[in-house]
Amino acid sequence: MAGQVVRIVAASVSIANRAGKIIRDVMSKGELGIVEKSKNDLQTEADRSAQRCIVASLHAQFPKVAIFGEEQLDPHEKVNPEWIETSLDPDVLKHKSKCSDDIKNAKDEDIVVWVDPLDGTAEYTQGLLDHVTVLIGVAVKGKAVGGVIYQPYFNYEAGSGAKLGRTIWGIVGIGAFGFTQAVPPEDQNIITTTRSHSNRMVIDSVEACEPSEVMKVGGAGHKVLLLLEGRVHAYVFASPGCKKWDTCAPEAVLHAAGGKLTDILGDDIPYHQTVPTRNMTGVLATLCCDHKWYCDRIPAATKETLRG
């Protein structure tokens, strides 16, 4: 029998696909229902509906597992029964024998699921659809170990009739799947960072890493996909802007692929259910490059400010 983590990831692959269809349907209808939660922080009907789908579907199968979603919604609100997804992806389940004992034996009380139903909401409203992802991350005893990154608009530039959507998933110790891993150009140092939440510390930290090019994009999930596909060398964000639901799934997939995601100080990000949701000390991620090299180049003043 598959352990609980493998079953949750297998369920999350199916659920993320269902949530992705909901996101596309909202866009097709043209009724985004935009709400500004705070400055530079939007919520749409797609965020709300996708989260209802994801959380309700996970609760139906794993009622004792803690689940945290980005959007603050009415827990008593009825969910469209057509949104409840209960299937388990067979491609995930076939890897169950490769799972490490600590992950295989994880109990419900050890597990926390972090959900971002629509990462890259601003980009979604602006038509930058390749930036948009659905993120479902699984943590065991505070460590990100499993994740699903679903791109609802992958292949959207191929024209009408093209099949949309791509699922990337990973479990630490098993591997990462759904993409073609590549190595970034050796003679360059391309860094990705935020396109909408920049400040002086973010700019100074990126410049300190001596980039040959800076790629400013939306969404933590999208930035980690750029790493996985060899389009950038590092993801540098020296600011307390990201939340646990932004980084849990990308960290797990990146780690499963052999990469690393930490805070800007080089310390692990904890994902226990009692931790603050905001990642106060930023994000630093690499795959094929020396993580410590980038960490060492972050200005000391920036690190001190983020430490508080």
pLDDT digits (tens, 9 = 90+) for 224-266: 999 999 999 999 999 998 999 999 999 999 999 999 999 999 9
pTM for the full predicted model: 0.94
Residues with Cβ within 8 Å of residue 296, at least 6 apart in sequence: none
Separation of alpha carbons 114 and 139, rounded Å? 8
Residue 192 pLDDT greater than 80, yes or no: yes
User: Is-catalytic flag, 121?
Assistant: yes
Q: Where are the alpha helices (DSSP H) in the chain?
A: 4-29, 45-61, 90-93, 101-104, 121-126, 200-208, 220-228, 244-256, 291-297, 300-307
Mean pLDDT value across the chain = 93
- On whether the CB atoms of residues 209 and 269 are closer than 8 A, the answer is no
Q: List the end-to-end C-alpha distance of the chain, in Å, as a whole number.
A: 46
DSSP per-residue string spanning 265-292: TSPPPP--TTS-SB-TT-EEEESSS-HH
User: Is-catalytic flag, 130?
Assistant: no
Active site residue: 47, 119, 130, 263, which one?
47
Choice between 75 and 105, residue whose per-residue pLDDT is larger? 105
- On whether the CB atoms of residues 52 and 79 are closer than 8 A, the answer is yes
pLDDT of residue 41: 52
Q: What is the pLDDT confidence band of residue 35, given thresholds at 50, 70 and 90?
A: low
At residue 166, what is the residue type?
R
Active site residue: 89, 116, 121, 302, which one?
121
pLDDT digits (tens, 9 = 90+) for 137-181: 999 999 999 999 999 999 988 877 788 999 999 999 999 999 999
